[in-house]
Structure 1
Amino acid sequence: MLFRKPYFPALSWAVIILILTLLPPQALPKVPDWSLTSIHSLAHLFIFMTWAFLLLTGFFRAATSGKYNRIWVTFILAVSYGALIEVLQGLMRLGRQPDIVDIFFNTLGALLGIAAFFLVKKFFVKEPLRAAK
């Protein structure tokens, strides 16, 4: 079941992503114009890197199917979720605009999150990941 404890951090972060990316632009903090593109892109990269890391951690803690399946499912979910958010931004008429560059940085963030997971697992985790009880 998807709502088990191992998935709680990833599900919580997914809700935060949805709220932040669908808020009207007036509700977000103002950023200087000269840095809007880079900060905006880095924000997408960071939030999807974090989400992919949390999601993959949940898959490993839940001991779902094989290692490569977990990686692909994480990647496909992250890319699909990022694309869905961009579609919703276009459909909901809240002052947000869909942007292919956002999808690119979401995808890049997902890849970095997956890589970060394995780096952390290799260098900092001494025992196998297990489900929280």
Structure 2
Amino acid sequence: MLKRGVFVATIVYTIFIIVASLIKLDNFPKVEISFGDKIFHFLTYAVLTVSWFFSFSFTFKVKIKKALLSAVLLSVIFGIILEVLQDSLTVYRALDIYDVFANTLGALAALVILMKAKSLHVKN
């Protein structure tokens, strides 16, 4: 049950990112932090990568290294595709290379954290 729950939560989170990336955000409050948008992208894609890692490793029993690589690649490619879709499907959103950069850094940060957590777990 927990294994399926992890996968369902990952799918729901992924769909949430798709919707949030393609809707008009005029009615949402603006973040008044410098680079707040980029920090949000970074954190969103770090969480996405961790979610997909757990889905691959626990739900689908993919080996750790392959699950890590798959989660990072999926998150990075997903982020690029969403940026392109924002530019091509909407008139109120545009492709932002810095968003792609923040998404990628978030995915890579998740990779580092997961690798560190894995090494700590193996040592204990």
TM > 0.5 fold call: yes
Task: Give the corresponding residue for 2:25.
Answer: 25
Match of 2:73 in 1: 76
The offset of 1:85, in angstroms, is 0.6
Please tell me whether residue 86 in structure 1 is matched to residue 78 in structure 2.
no
Matches within 5 A, 1:9-48: 9-32=9-32, 35=34, 38-48=35-45
Deviations 1:59-117 (A, max 9, x none): 11125333222111111100110001101100112411111111111011111122333
For structure 2, the residue ranges without an aligned partner over 5 or more in a row are none
Which residue is 1:95 aligned to?
Answer: 92
Write the distance in 2 (CA, Å) between the matches of 1:8 and 1:124: 26
Which consecutive residues of structure 1, in runs of 5 or more, have no partner in the other structure?
126-133
C-alpha distance 29-124 of structure 1, shift in aligned 2 (>3 A): farther
Contact 2:76/2:104, CA 8 A, preserved across alignment? yes
Q: Contact between 1:24 and 1:94, CA under 8 Å: does it hold in 2?
A: no
TM-score by length of 1: 0.77
The verdict on how the C-alpha distance between 1:12 and 1:29 changes in structure 2, with shifts beyond 3 A counting, is same
Give the superposed CA RMSD.
2.5
Alignment: residue pair count: 122
C-alpha separation between the residues in 2 aligned to 1:110 and 1:119? 14
Deviation at 1:7, TM superposition (A): 1.3
Percent sequence identity over matched residues? Answer: 24
